[in-house]
Amino acid sequence: MKWDPSHQSRDVEDRRGQVSGGGGLGILIALLLRTRYGWIIVLLLLGGYVVQRFFLAPRAGDQTKLAENDTDAHFVAFVLDDTQQLWQQKIPSYRRAKLVLFTNSTDTACGYGQSATGPFYCPGDESVYIDLGFFHSLDRMGAHGDFARAYVIAHEIGHHVQDVLGQKVRGSAKGPEGGSVRLELQADCYAGVWARSAGERNLLEPGDLEEALRAASRIGDDVLQREETGRVRPESFTHGTSAQRFSWLKRGYDQPSIEACDTFKAPQL
């Protein structure tokens, strides 16, 4: 993929190396107040998210400055901005999402986030969270290449697009045809819409689309379950099979529109 290795983004927040509040832990603040009855001490326990959001996060107007040799972070920043520029063109009411880089764990508006869960989107603070170590996990799964990584970011921004459009899980959330799977496949399709745009703007290099499609086929519920437990349990699917993820990513590329990605109207996935 062709991209700017020095790209900075005003929508990236770098928390790598920071210690999270642990989900329920925070800091204790003592306030000395004077009342009509004398001086009293008031103790305030601030939760981890409050600490992260209002004490550790950059102040309004501040911008995370990525180090010159921080290649993976610059790449993520470039893909983040490129995907959002596309959705700003397609959706007049689009609100830009933030992307938070973290290490091991961090506090979010959706609770305690851990790198073990992989990249995720939190609608509570409209932010994508990613531990860049996940890219090494992709390599181990056989999903090599920079556009495989770009697909992951575009998929998470796809969830933000759903949030902006008010698209939510409908009907039963569980099972191979359930709402959770449909939501994830729609995000895959939106990633395909962006991939088509990147191709039309000559950002793709030979083999890039294949890298993304290969990544989609490596992270289906059926493949991951078979590798982890030796058996497949369709009733517990949350993201769709490898074939489905491949198919919907390709659909977004071939039919680059929001309407074509309506998995909730599809009789079969």
Q: What is the pLDDT of residues 50-78, one digit of tens each?
A: 445 544 555 444 567 899 999 999 999 99
In a domain, 157, yes or no: yes
Residue 236 lies in a domain: yes
The percentage of the chain sitting over the pLDDT mark of 70, rounded to a whole number, equals 83
Which among 18, 29, 28, 77 has a CA at the least distance from the CA of 52?
Answer: 18
* Residue range(s) defining the domain that contains residue 115: 12-16+66-261
Dihedral (CA of 83, 16, 105, 211) sign: positive
Give the least confident one: 32-46, 87-101, 174-188. Answer: 32-46
Number of domains in the chain: 1
Whether 195 is covered by a domain: the verdict is yes
In a domain, 24, yes or no: no
pLDDT score, position 34: 62
With both helix axes pointing from N to C terminus, report the angle between 146-165 and 208-218 in degrees, rounded to the nearest 10: 70
Q: Residue 246 domain-assigned? A: yes
DSSP state of 115: G
Q: How far is residue 33's CA from residue 39's CA, in Å, rounded to a whole number?
A: 6
Domain assignment present for 250? yes
Q: Is residue 156 part of a domain?
A: yes
pLDDT level of residue 86 (50, 70, 90 thresholds): very high
Per-residue pLDDT reduced to its tens digit, 252-267 = 999 999 999 999 999 8
Q: Which of 153, 266, 260, 128 is nearest to 215 (CA)?
A: 153
Q: What is the pLDDT of residues 20-38, one digit of tens each?
A: 655 444 555 556 666 665 6
126 in a structural domain: yes
d(C-alpha 181, C-alpha 41), whole Å: 51
Given this model, what pLDDT does residue 25 score? 45
Could you tell me the pLDDT band of residue 19, with boundaries at 50, 70 and 90? confident
* The residue type at 217: S
